[in-house]
Amino acid sequence: MRPSNSAASSSDLHLMANRRQLLRTALALGASTLLPGVAAARETHAEVAVLPLQHRPAHSLLPELQPLFGDTATLRGDGFRLLVRADARTLQQIRELVAELDTPVQDLILSVRRHSDAPRTERGSGFEFESGPDGTEGRITTQRLRTTRRDDQTQHLRLREGTDAIILVGETRTAGFRIIHGRAGVGVEPLLQDTARGFRVRPQVQPDGRVRVAISQLHERPLARGAVDRDAVDTQLTLEPGAWHTLGGVHSETATTERGLASRRTTRDRDTLTLELRVDPVR
């Protein structure tokens, strides 16, 4: 007796499902066997090299190289040696780029000229009376006193391009007086206050020979009751080597007036600071 068509078709479907399952298993086993071989083949194409540097330490080049090559290369620094692990093509690109970046770093002479001018003008007027046999006489008196304090300094500093230099000029001024009571009597002691003037500078030589300078300037002025007024300015300049350049200046002016019963006194103070900068390459 022959089997029915429905039974035959059911058996065929079951056989086909078994064959598909066996095929999937075989493919999975083949992939698991081949993939490590592919990874190993890729590893065999990676090369390791030590690139000697002549002028710049490796740590100064890594921030420029790592963003360019990312995961395609492994970079490590060891003093004046750059350790590289990459494929042959990437390694050659790194060699060419390092040859362009490993250039001599130039030494520079930084000169700072500081000119400070602080004139003071005092004016006073009042009445004076004199009594004598002929009666009492009065007259108007006027006084004017002008003093000027000037300070001119030039400082020189040798540094390497790309490094920071800090130049500060300290100054101590009288910020008032204090009355002291003791066994010997009453005395007056001046109160001193320290202020700073100067800046931080970082020069970098450009391909055209000019020098790009990043500058942070600081200027402190004493105020009443021990307070300090501080000005800070950040800027960048491109300088021609061998010439003086005006960096900037600070100007302040104060005036005080004292009045008495028959007198008047006016004091005017000015404080002007000018800074000039010059950069010379070391020959």
**Helix ranges (DSSP H) in the chain:** 5-45, 58-69, 88-101
Q: Is the pLDDT confidence value at 276 over 60? A: yes
Rg (CA), the chain: 41
CATH 1.25.40.10 fits 5-101, yes or no: no
Comparing 260 with 185, which gets the higher pLDDT?
185
Query: What residues have CB less than 8 Å from 82, skipping those under 6 apart?
Result: 50, 51, 53, 58, 61, 75, 76, 98
117: amino acid identity, one letter? D
Rounded Cα distance between 151 and 118, Å, is: 9
Average pLDDT value for the chain: 74
pLDDT at res. 41: 43
Query: What residues have CB less than 8 Å from 279, skipping those under 6 apart?
Result: 108, 109, 110, 111, 203, 211, 213, 239, 241, 242
Q: Which of 91-95, 121-125, 244-248, 274-278: highest mean pLDDT?
A: 91-95
For the chain, what percentages of helix, strand and coil (3-state, to nearest 5) are there?
25, 60, 15
Q: Is the pLDDT confidence value at 39 over 50? A: no
Q: Is the pLDDT confidence value at 76 over 90? A: yes
Sign, CA dihedral 92-98-101-102, equals negative
CATH 3.30.1370.120 residue ranges in the chain?
Answer: 5-101
**What SS3 class is residue 244?**
coil
Backbone angles phi, psi at 162, to 5 degrees: 90, -5
Q: Region 218-225: what's the mean pLDDT?
A: 65
Rounded Cα distance between 59 and 17, Å, is: 62
Assign 34 a pLDDT band (cuts: 50, 70, 90).
very low
Rounded Cα distance between 264 and 127, Å, is: 10
Q: Which of 126-130, 155-159, 229-233, 246-250: highest mean pLDDT?
A: 155-159
pLDDT at res. 236: 86
Q: Which of 167, 121, 161 is nearest to 280 (CA)?
A: 161
Q: Which of 223, 276, 229 is nearest to 116 (CA)?
A: 276
Q: Which of 75, 72, 55, 73 is nearest to 63 (CA)?
A: 75
Q: Is the pLDDT confidence value at 186 over 80? A: no
Q: Region 88-94: what's the mean pLDDT?
A: 93
Comparing 153 with 28, which gets the higher pLDDT?
153
pLDDT at res. 37: 46
**What SS3 class is residue 80?**
coil
